[in-house]
Amino acid sequence: MASGIFAILDDIAALLDDVAMMSKVAAKKTAGILGDDLAVNAEKASGFASSREIPVLWAITKGSFLNKLIILPIAFLLSAFLPWAVTIILVLGGLYLAYEGAEKIYEFFFPHAHSNESFVAEGLTESEILAIEKERVKSAIVTDFILSLEIVIIALGSVVKEPIGTQIMVVSVIAILATIGVYGIVALIVRMDEAGYKLIKYSKKEKSFSKTLGKLLVQALPKVIKSLSVIGTIALILVSGGIFVHNVDFFHHFLPQLPSFILEFIVGLLVGFVCLVIVVMVKKLWSIVKGT
């Protein structure tokens, strides 16, 4: 009896060890998306009044958990009954990632006109500010749904040949850690300036270390968010290129003499700009049709 219990415990330990090892592999493959997720959400969670940053971030975090509760069962059902659909969704997600990366690069060189929406503007009533906040939260949750779908599918693609039980454990671990990790770091980022202001306020000396650190934190926030955006864009291109190189035979044998990360970047960039051109042409044709 005792030996049977120890055998079961040994099997459980071996399974958990396998899950941990495969979770590391899946985490590496989703790292690029997590970087973009972090950059996007840090940008969306900033710009609110200081007292509203944490409540807004908590609302987005709850929405992110709900998104994953919707996505995970659907992904597991597809893996169990239509495993080929996972690869198709993975490639479609790669097209979206490549397009998004190319669009960000295009936007950098040819910026569009954006309306600067202020969430703490003078003259707005409390109800108007809360309405704007609610719309911003909805937008962030929709964006999180797309990124969560990509994270889950990429993680699932890394373990799609494993038993369904292992898939569920590995992908669920990645989904939970992604949410906690991303929004935990976002919370630290968006509160950088607030921490800096407090250090400046409570510093009694003009040239103290705490005041210098406070000024550094305040000045660093916009630069950190901008840097994350750049890193996230590069990550998008690399992740999308990796999806095509590993799942499409043509790209797998394309320029084999190049190092893998350079090949993945080139492929992601080429596919992204092709998608961007197609989207721009479709929009122009649609506007012509609507005009007639």
pLDDT digits (tens, 9 = 90+) for 234-277: 877 888 888 888 888 888 777 777 888 888 899 999 999 999 99
Cβ pair 60, 184 in contact under 8 A: no
Residues 6+ apart with CB under 8 A from 154: 26, 29, 30, 33, 90, 93, 239, 243
Highest mean pLDDT range out of 7-16, 52-61, 265-274?
265-274
Is 29's pLDDT higher than 50?
yes
> What's the mean per-residue pLDDT of the chain?
77
Please state which of the ranges 63-72, 85-94, 122-131, 176-185 shows the lowest mean pLDDT: 122-131
Q: In terms of Cα–Cα distance, which of 190, 248, 174, 192 is closest to 60?
A: 190
Q: Which two tokens stand for residue 77?
A: 């059902």
Is 204's pLDDT higher than 80?
no
Q: In terms of Cα–Cα distance, which of 47, 42, 71, 29 is closest to 181?
A: 42
Q: For the chain, what are the domain ranges?
A: 2-240+260-291
Burial 88-102 (b: 16+ CB within 10 A, else e): ebbbebbbbbbbbbb
Cβ pair 12, 165 in contact under 8 A: no
Could you tell me the pTM of the whole model?
Answer: 0.70
Judged by DSSP in three states, 236 sits in helix
Residues 6+ apart with CB under 8 A from 156: 75, 76, 79, 86, 167, 171
Residue 70 banded pLDDT, cuts 50, 70, 90: very high
Tell me what percent of the residues of the chain surpass a pLDDT of 90.
10
| pLDDT at res. 282 | 92
144-37-197 Cα angle (round to 5):
105
15 burial via Cβ count (<10 Å: 0-12, 13-18, 19+): middle
Give whole-number Cα distances, 125 to 53, 101, 181, in Å: 18, 37, 35
What is the per-residue pLDDT across 124-182, written as a single tens digit (0 to 9) for each? 666 777 777 788 888 788 878 877 887 888 888 777 777 888 888 888 888 888 888 88
